[in-house]
């Protein structure tokens, strides 16, 4: 997908929706969610978040790519863990079983990167109750994948939390936590295996779970997408690690890097910078690259210039 086509759609993105007839609306960082009885209609918009803040500009086709990447991996992992997906009637839309989301994110880390590295570099040797050995370097592979749970914040930063703390605070019971933890480890192993087949490394990722009306625990939200996962290219990984050079990434970490370079890390009092159009185009290109690298298929965007109207037609909304 060439930059010229992406640039032509900078003013035709899906920022948000307001479909009153779909039921109660909830606006998350990226998705607009509507509840209709036992169904959820999840519309993945072109919003982008970083440092737990929604940025002011949108990213062309990002919602389509995320929704379709998630659909691909939900299908690829349904033999391991049940999920909430019922159908995908539009490139931006998933219809799912309504669930009560659990208030814990199950973050799996196979490598020491991102927030985990920053904490480790500051001297921390325990994250979410999990010990980390001395002598690790940035982006090095951990002795084994580690689960570092976090609370889900409505606003501001998520908070790392241990299993015992989560149970003591009444956020989750022990049986549910342990079930989700085992699901997370199993999903990470599958994701890492699939990434390796495509010459990628699944560095870290997060999973969210919900409970259905019959009490079942299912995987919700998204899985192994660039919004919830960090990927390195396998080619050259060891050489860059030995040379203490940054890894080539397929993730939105470079957006965080750009924001840091422009004085924004989500702290109080900081001014959020505007994303220049050239950066927005590059972000789309990165998302397309990840989709195609992971799925071994070509991304075919829906080029309707009014995505809200297209979704209205797909869902037969009057």
> In this predicted structure, what is the pLDDT of residue 318?
66
> In this predicted structure, what is the pLDDT of residue 252?
76
101-250: what fold? D-amino Acid Aminotransferase; Chain A, domain 1 (3.30.470)
What mean pLDDT comes out for the span 14-41?
94
Q: What percent of the chain has pLDDT over 70?
A: 98
What mean pLDDT comes out for the span 168-188?
98
Contact indicator for 72, 88 with CB cutoff of 8 Å: no
Q: Please check the confidence at residue 7 and state whether its pLDDT lies above 90.
A: yes
Between 42 and 290, residue with greater pLDDT? 42
Measured CA to CA in angstroms, residue 141 lies from 86, 117, 226, 312 at distances of: 36, 11, 20, 46
Average pLDDT, rounded, for the chain = 95
| Domain 3-99+273-314 listed as CATH 3.40.50.300 | no
Question: Which residues of the chain form CATH 3.30.470.20?
Answer: 101-250
Question: Which residues of the chain form CATH 3.30.200.20?
Answer: 3-99+273-314
* pLDDT tens-digit map of 107-161: 999 999 999 999 999 999 999 999 999 999 999 999 999 999 999 765 556 799 9
Q: Please check the confidence at residue 184 and state whether its pLDDT lies above 70.
A: yes
Q: Please check the confidence at residue 13 and state whether its pLDDT lies above 90.
A: yes
Q: Please check the confidence at residue 295 and state whether its pLDDT lies above 70.
A: yes
* pLDDT tens-digit map of 200-254: 999 999 999 999 999 999 999 999 998 899 999 999 999 999 999 999 988 777 8
3-state SS of the chain is CCHHHHHHCCCCCCCCCCCHHHCEEEECCCEEEEEECCEEEEEECCCCEECCEECCCCCCCHHHHHHHHHHHHHHHHCCCCCECEEEEEECCEEEEECCEECCEEEEEEEECCHHHHHHHHCCCCEECCEECCCCCCCCCEEEEEEECCEECCCCCCCEECCHHHHHHCCCCCHHHHHHHHHHHHHHHHHHHHHHHHCCEEEEEEEEEEEECCCCCEEEECCCCCCCCEEEEECCCHHHHHHCCCCCCEECCHHHHHHHHHCCCCCCCCCCCCCCCHHHHHHHHHHHHHHHHHHHCCCCCCCCCCCHHHHHHHHCCCC
- pTM for the predicted model, two decimal places: 0.91
> In this predicted structure, what is the pLDDT of residue 155?
56
Q: Please check the confidence at residue 39 and state whether its pLDDT lies above 60.
A: yes
> In this predicted structure, what is the pLDDT of residue 22?
94
Q: Report the b/e string of 75-91 with b at 16+ CB within 10 A.
A: ebbeeebbbbbeebebb
């Amino acid at each position: 997908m060439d930059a010229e086509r992406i640039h032509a759609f900078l003013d035709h993105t899906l920022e948000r929706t307001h479909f009153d007839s779909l039921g109660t609306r909830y606006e998350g960082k990226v998705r607009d969610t509507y509840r209709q009885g036992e169904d959820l209609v999840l519309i993945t918009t072109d919003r982008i978040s970083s440092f737990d803040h929604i940025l002011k500009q949108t990213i062309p086709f990002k919602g389509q790519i995320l929704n379709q990447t998630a659909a691909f991996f939900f299908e690829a992992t349904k033999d391991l863990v049940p999920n909430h997906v019922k159908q995908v009637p539009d490139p931006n839309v998933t219809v799912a079983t309504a669930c009560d989301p659990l208030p814990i994110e199950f973050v799996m880390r196979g490598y020491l990167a991102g927030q985990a590295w920053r904490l480790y570099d500051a001297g921390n040797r325990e994250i979410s109750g999990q010990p980390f050995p001395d002598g690790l370097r940035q982006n090095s592979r951990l002795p084994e994948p580690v689960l570092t749970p976090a609370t889900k914040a409505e606003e501001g930063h998520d908070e790392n939390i241990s299993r015992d703390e989560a149970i003591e605070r009444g956020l989750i019971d022990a049986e549910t936590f342990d079930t989700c933890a085992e699901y997370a480890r199993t999903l990470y192993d599958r994701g890492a295996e699939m990434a390796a087949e495509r010459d990628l490394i699944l560095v870290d990722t997060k999973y969210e779970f919900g409970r259905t009306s019959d009490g079942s625990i299912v995987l919700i939200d998204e899985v192994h997408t660039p919004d919830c996962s960090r990927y390195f290219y396998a080619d050259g990984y060891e050489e860059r690690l030995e040379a203490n050079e940054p890894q080539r990434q397929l993730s939105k970490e470079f957006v965080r890097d750009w924001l840091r370079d422009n004085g924004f890390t989500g702290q109080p009092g900081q001014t959020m910078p505007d994303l220049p159009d050239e950066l927005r185009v590059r972000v789309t290109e990165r998302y397309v690259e990840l989709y195609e690298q992971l799925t071994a298929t070509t991304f075919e965007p829906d080029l309707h210039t009014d995505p809200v109207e297209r979704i209205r037609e797909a869902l037969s909304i009057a």
